[in-house]
Structure 1
């Protein structure tokens, strides 16, 4: 069984795979004759992936994505070929959640007022986290970690998911079709939605028209979920006081983009997931592959993180 390692594997990882009869090739070592023999892709390479998917003899059965979001994959083609995708949901939940908390503290505690100030002018119009109810769109592992951190500060957290099913750490969860009650209670909105056709431009003019001076809008989901022009209008009209965006459309943003020109907006350039390279948590992405390999090799099944290719998450 052949695995294409787009992401790096160490010796221990390779030894584990060898126990299950899995041979490893990389984009640098793969031969043309092996393209059709790849059964597992660990990560995704667009060029090789296109060769695989256009090869009628391809044996590809499983892609372990390197991220929680999989909107960069050709999901319709994968479904048509009966290829399973597993994602890395939860891998970066803690760093992303801590980044969200840092956004909240940055604006709530008035730190933004001192970022460029070069004269003495104290700013005391500050808030506690517990004074600013939060509404989180997306209650998966990242959303749950965000809620857990906010609750540790005594905060109130509402959630929004597809069905409205209740999730730990949230005071209440609403369905996507019935989020307005939660929005009316919130001072902070966190966009943690995946990039799908259903969520495209979800946060649009109609959404922001419901605002009555929202304190902070945060996007750590996908840039495509937010209509950036609508957000800029809401900022300019004071319907939204501040915004913190980790993701945008496009990426990178061109120089002199309007988002760069608003002092009320903090842009962190898709780095909320970041960890120090030398102290990153043990295991990382490979732990997701590792947990599914035994059942895949013996039964062709998976125990976790299978993506619904219709929904895109």
Structure 2
């Protein structure tokens, strides 16, 4: 009997052919019927509207959800756990463009481009830095954090990581536990936030945390907007204890036109677009090959092994 897959995230025609050859029938949010709801086994992407219907059906056959994003804070994790539904994310899919964006943020400020882009007459600005002069700590040592560290090391940087346990990770000069930030060097200049959005990371970067980290040259967030207390960040930017900041994620999104974040001259805002790359248009342009790494295991009733989310921890 054919298995049913709900195509929320766009599949290419050749992808559908591959699935068809594996006896998987594809339905879309536009073609799904009431009778299909209980029969859907795999959700490729997630529709809140249809997902609620699936999870409300006691006879639902849903067993696996593949998200188009690395973060899964928007997913009904508790319900999925109750129903023993497996969840895989897109971690690592956009590590390269995101990491390159982070490097561009650092160089934008370090090489004085933020000053020169607004000048309309000749005025030398030489308060510039090289990567080796800006010791950096990355909060989050997963795929994205490791890629950022790789680029920084290639440019001569000194790079530290922060994760839950402080376990060593290749590519970092040292890694400390998230509850042992006092073990970080005193000369940290740049903080990169790649934390996931969980209950434990809400407002993690607040006035108290900024005070612990000391004066910073640059604060960057490419993780989740929920991890930063934006009012405290603005206070630090205005006081000069954080000299500059770059945010790709905010709370809320889209950011309203009247948000005070837009008014901070030492803050660079991008609109959750660090994932973008021309050769693979869209947030999930190259998701299917990642999905296919797990599909054979699923069809063989074996555990999934790639990008499996711990539904309790949320990442």
CA-to-aligned-CA distance 1:2-38 (integer Å, 9 cap, x gap): 0001111122212222232211111111111111100
The 2-side partners of 1:282 and 1:289 are apart by 11
Partner SS for 1:41: strand
The question of 1:9 aligning with 2:26 is answered no
Q: 1:163 to 1:90 in 2, by over 3 A?
A: same
Q: 1:311 to 1:25 in 2, by over 3 A?
A: same
Instruction: Say if 1:20 and 1:294, in contact at 8 Å, map to a contact too.
Output: no
Partner SS for 1:72: coil
Unaligned runs of 5+ in 2: none
Instruction: Say if 2:276 and 2:282, in contact at 8 Å, map to a contact too.
Output: no
The 2-side partners of 1:204 and 1:278 are apart by 36
The 2-side partners of 1:73 and 1:108 are apart by 37
Number of residue pairs the alignment of both structures matches? 313
* Equivalence for 1:41: 43
Structure 1 residue 280, shift from structure 2 partner: 8.2
* Equivalence for 1:102: 104
Structure 1 residue 205, shift from structure 2 partner: 1.3
Q: 1:196 to 1:34 in 2, by over 3 A?
A: same
CA RMSD across the alignment:
1.6
- What is the TM-score when the length of structure 1 is the normalising length? 0.97
The 2-side partners of 1:283 and 1:269 are apart by 18
The question of 1:293 aligning with 2:258 is answered no
Structure 1 residue 307, shift from structure 2 partner: 0.1
* Equivalent residue runs for 1:166-205 within 5 Å: 166-182=168-184, 184-205=186-207
* Equivalence for 1:219: 221
Unaligned runs of 5+ in 1: none
* Equivalence for 1:132: 134
The 2-side partners of 1:125 and 1:283 are apart by 40
Q: 1:282 to 1:245 in 2, by over 3 A?
A: closer
Q: 1:37 to 1:283 in 2, by over 3 A?
A: same
